[in-house]
Amino acid sequence: MSQTVVLIHGAFCAAWAMEPYAQLFAAHGFKVLTPTLRHHDTVPGMRAPRELGLTSTLDYADDIEKLVRELDAPPILVGHSMGGLIAQMVATRVPVRALALLAPSAPWGTLPTSAWEIVSAQGLYFAGQFWNKPLRPESWIAETHALDLLPDGERQATFARFVPESGLATFEILHWAMDMRRATYVDSRMVDCPVLCVAGEFDRVNPPKTVASIARRYRERGDYHEIAGASHWLIGEPGWQTTGRHVVQWIEGVAGRVTKAS
């Protein structure tokens, strides 16, 4: 039986963002699931449901946990950005074979390693009381910090598919020190599978030093890999195929994947 990979997209996106990786894993004989996080199935440009604003990272993790529990065997979780954080949270609750985290957001208690991380968090206050309402994607932020390596036309087309994100979830990630619930806390001792953390050399959203510190949380179970010349959109920017092949090879090496089922 082929192993199952669950691909978890990041903030302001939906399952479409993980399609390149879905095709890559399917080509290598994996069964692939690409869930869309709660309230992220809206049509771009349309008003998001009010419930989105108060949706927690805990809610996202609940939904992925439910999906994992319905599977016949522990899957491999692959998460990008916020999806990488959700994957870590889920792995403390249910057995998984491995975690592959692409430019992952950091769990509660992980200190920022760059000035940009601090400035971007503080900049959210320009949106007013952002923690209880949906946040619209901002083109200048996405196109200069996440999609910056995409060709112009592709950059704009990709951003056009972005959808609003939860203000509460954003608060829990970027202002974790003020979150009394510690929603994004991950007890690394509860994650007993191999963990791969991948960072882009020029990523300002989740920079290499921060991603490396996530890998260190998992001690001997954590592997860190930095992609030279890459930015945040490791799931689709130029050169993503090389990154993807590295992830597949790592998974095949540490998770003992059985070749295609007969």
Reading the chain (262 residues) residue by residue, the pLDDT tens digits are 589 999 999 999 999 999 999 999 999 999 999 999 999 998 876 778 889 999 999 999 999 999 999 999 999 999 999 999 999 999 999 999 999 999 999 999 999 999 888 878 777 766 667 788 999 999 988 998 999 999 999 999 999 999 999 999 999 999 999 999 999 999 999 999 999 999 999 999 999 999 999 999 999 999 999 999 999 999 999 999 999 999 999 999 986 643 333 2
Find the radius of gyration of the CA atoms of the chain: 17
pLDDT at 125: 66
CA 252, chain centre distance (Å): 21
Q: 145: which 2 tokens?
A: 């910090």
Q: Are the C-beta atoms of residues 155 and 231 closer than 8 Å to each other?
A: no
Residue 25's nearest CA partner among 64, 66, 78, 99 is 78
pLDDT at 49: 87
Fold category of 4-254 in CATH: Rossmann fold (3.40.50)
In the block, tokens 């419930």 appear at 51
pTM given for the model: 0.94
Q: Are the C-beta atoms of residues 52 and 134 closer than 8 Å to each other?
A: yes
